[in-house]
Structure 1
Amino acid sequence: MDNKDMDNKHVFTAWDDTHSSLWGNQPIRLDHRLHQSALFSRDQLARLIETYPREHYSLVHTGARESRRLWREGEIGNLSGNQVIDAISRGRLWLNLRNVTGVDTRYRDVVDQMFEEIAAKVPGFTAPTHEAGILISSPDAQVYYHADMPGQGLIQIAGRKRVYLYPASAPFITPQQLEDIALFDVEVDMPYADWYDRHAIVFDLEPGQMLNWPLNAPHRVENLSTVNISMTVSYVNQDIRRAQMVHLANGLLRHRFGYQPKSRAIKGASFWSKAVLQKLLRNSAWVKKERSARRPIDFKLDAHQPGHILDLAA
């Protein structure tokens, strides 16, 4: 099935009233048909990788299960799309093709349709701004404990993964951590303790399934012995966007000016002053320097040994 076939079929296959009530309030698992689309075939993904803009992808090397803090970012180099997929199949690697909906209109059409279906089923739901990315990841690769700023969903296309979802409240996540994510654009630096897992809801995600969870809920992911293809979707409405602006402004006040902000209001005079502050400084040299220092590109894929990486000179 290609994206044209989707025109006459719903993305979701078994949505009921409980899903409408739970959406955004509790973690839920939904059934979809995107895994049947030719857009996610190996040939299509290989061609997509070969033409993907450098500024829109991240290639990450992670540690083994017992290692929680290895997180290096690298380059594809001159490998073909099929060589990249072969390398991912043999190493602990994640390739994130960010904003695929902005790069390729075929994926935009599918995701637009998906959000139209959600809006029709969830009273009051709006997502005027939304996008998606494609994740291709190794057997046994992991994504460490982290949280995201926009609303989030995870769509499984191929392979299996285990997703741990945690409460969106202290001690699992704090306002200061949200401020750091907004300011430094690095999600995986959050502190984590093994006992958090006793409070997690755990899902084993199969092809044809999607997860959605409450805004800013921390989560971590473990692949289960197979190459995984997934699509992440993110969405922003006015309240989410305003909260992001406040988190960024509060982070600037703490880290740049040494002031401890007290308000997280998304309305009123306090909000508008912070909206101006973050607009003036979000693209400043200081912010760019802090972000680049936290996300260095320090390896490339080895073209001669699939799954191996080569260190880049500092």
Structure 2
Amino acid sequence: MDQGTERAMQDSNGMDDGWIDPPALSAFAAAYPARAVGLAHRLTNHPLLRLDALAALAGRLPDDHVEHSLGNLAVDQDPDAIARIAAHPADIVRTIADNGCWMVMKKIDCDPAYTALVDTILAQLAPVTLPATGRHQRREAFLFLSAPDAVTPFHMDPEHNILFQIAGTKTMRLYPADDPAIVSAEQHEAFHRGGRHRNMRFDPAFDAQAETFMMAAGDAVYVPVKAPHWVQNGPTPSISLSITWRSDASDRAARLHRVNHRLRTLGVTPSPTGAAPHRDAAKIACHRAVKALSGAARRAVGRRRDRVAY
């Protein structure tokens, strides 16, 4: 168990029931890690999640921790055709009701004011997540602000994720991660190589497999690793908090996809992940060994790797 989770679990012993409702935790335990599920939470009045606090946060985060654009996007938006306004991030937060924007503040867990909140939420989840998928890795938190009717295009993310709706309403349409008609093996493999924009092609035929979550303040949704989704904001400004973590299980899957990608480039058609457990284990072991050697070589010459993907 990481020190942050252990410390927060100790600190949360005196809390009433935590930030996630106990019945929601039971639903989460029944669904995790493979199924999406709607949850309920108690974060809506947290002082760190009010608009003035978020404007202050936007003003002190590093530039590369803030991304924003206009929010009138298509579900299958071309990332090269996304427009932005010229405004300071703090001003975008303050005027989110009228500026037509979408914004994400990334890795807010690195800000000292938010560290304890993220630790406490993850600590409440730990009795479910740690036995099922192993230790929390790359724990991160994101804050999303969206103007009325803004769209977050179709994409998938590499983490386990719980999206907490703090203010406003939105509709999330979520699709299975394991349907090759939606995301092919080649797409999974390319995703873990990094270097591509997160937005993905969308076919309306995918909607036959969609699960729809109507979210208002106090609602949350657990999104499994790489479950594709897109989001339509409601008629009022939206604030959402996303708590994410990777796991031993998601790390193993990512390594398999990277090995399979390499095999495919060599002209070998790899077996699907999960089809041959012993072969999968051998691939993971080889990948770990190669990465350990390459990491040692980089360190020996004083080079650091900027890790964009797994």
Deviation at 1:276, TM superposition (A): 5.1
Q: Check the 8 A contact 1:179/1:250 in 2, yes or no.
A: yes
Name the residue aligned to 2:124. 117
Q: Check the 8 A contact 2:159/2:244 in 1, yes or no.
A: yes
CA distance in 1, matches of 2:262, 2:69: 27
Name the residue aligned to 1:271. 284
Q: Check the 8 A contact 1:21/1:122 in 2, yes or no.
A: no
| Mapping of residues 233-312 of structure 1, within 5 Å | 233-251=243-261, 254=264, 257=265, 259-260=267-268, 262-263=270-271, 264=273, 267-275=280-288, 280=294
Name the residue aligned to 2:174. 165
| Mapping of residues 62-101 of structure 1, within 5 Å | 62-64=71-73, 68-71=76-79, 79=88, 81=90, 83-101=91-109
1:252-295 Cα deviation digits (max 9, x unpaired): 565xx5545514468543223334556749x9xxx99xx9xxxx
Q: Which amino acid aligns with 2:97?
A: S
**Which of residues 201, 209, 218 in structure 2 aligns to 1:199?**
209
Name the residue aligned to 2:191. 181
CA distance in 1, matches of 2:89, 2:130: 45
Q: Check the 8 A contact 2:20/2:40 in 1, yes or no.
A: yes
Q: Check the 8 A contact 2:52/2:94 in 1, yes or no.
A: no
Q: Check the 8 A contact 2:36/2:224 in 1, yes or no.
A: yes
Instruction: Name whichever of 189-198 and 204-213 sits farther off.
Output: 189-198
Q: Check the 8 A contact 1:33/1:208 in 2, yes or no.
A: yes
Deviation at 1:245, TM superposition (A): 2.9
Q: Which amino acid aligns with 2:119?
A: D
Name the residue aligned to 1:105. 112
Gaps of 5+ in 2: 1-10, 299-304
CA distance in 2, matches of 1:142, 1:59: 12
Q: Check the 8 A contact 1:98/1:132 in 2, yes or no.
A: yes
Instruction: Name whichever of 87-96 and 265-274 sits farther off.
Output: 265-274
1:135-176 Cα deviation digits (max 9, x unpaired): 111211111211111212211111111000111222122221
Deviation at 1:74, TM superposition (A): 7.2
Q: What secondary structure sits across from 1:36 in the alignment?
A: coil
CA distance in 2, matches of 1:95, 1:189: 15
CA distance in 1, matches of 2:219, 2:41: 6
Name the residue aligned to 2:158. 149
Q: Which amino acid aligns with 1:226?
A: T
Q: What secondary structure sits across from 2:232 in the alignment?
A: strand
CA distance in 2, matches of 1:240, 1:123: 12
| RMSD between aligned residues | 3.3
Q: What secondary structure sits across from 2:119 in the alignment?
A: helix
Q: Check the 8 A contact 1:61/1:71 in 2, yes or no.
A: no
Q: Check the 8 A contact 1:96/1:136 in 2, yes or no.
A: yes
CA distance in 2, matches of 1:14, 1:251: 41
Q: Which amino acid aligns with 1:90?
A: D
Q: Check the 8 A contact 1:58/1:74 in 2, yes or no.
A: no
1:26-75 Cα deviation digits (max 9, x unpaired): 2211111111100011111111111110122222334445x732435677
Aligned CA distance change for structure 1 residues 43 and 52 (closer, same or farther; 3 Å): same
Name the residue aligned to 1:304. none
Q: Which amino acid aligns with 1:150?
A: E
The answer to whether the aligner puts 1:36 opposite 2:49 as a matched pair is no
Deviation at 1:132, TM superposition (A): 0.7
Gaps of 5+ in 1: 292-314
The answer to whether the aligner puts 1:13 opposite 2:12 as a matched pair is no
The share of aligned pairs that are identical, in percent, is 22
CA distance in 1, matches of 2:12, 2:160: 28
1:176-220 Cα deviation digits (max 9, x unpaired): 112222223545442221121122110111111110033221111
Q: Which amino acid aligns with 1:146?
A: H
Give the structure-1-normalised TM-score. Answer: 0.76
The answer to whether the aligner puts 1:218 opposite 2:218 as a matched pair is no
The answer to whether the aligner puts 1:56 opposite 2:69 as a matched pair is no
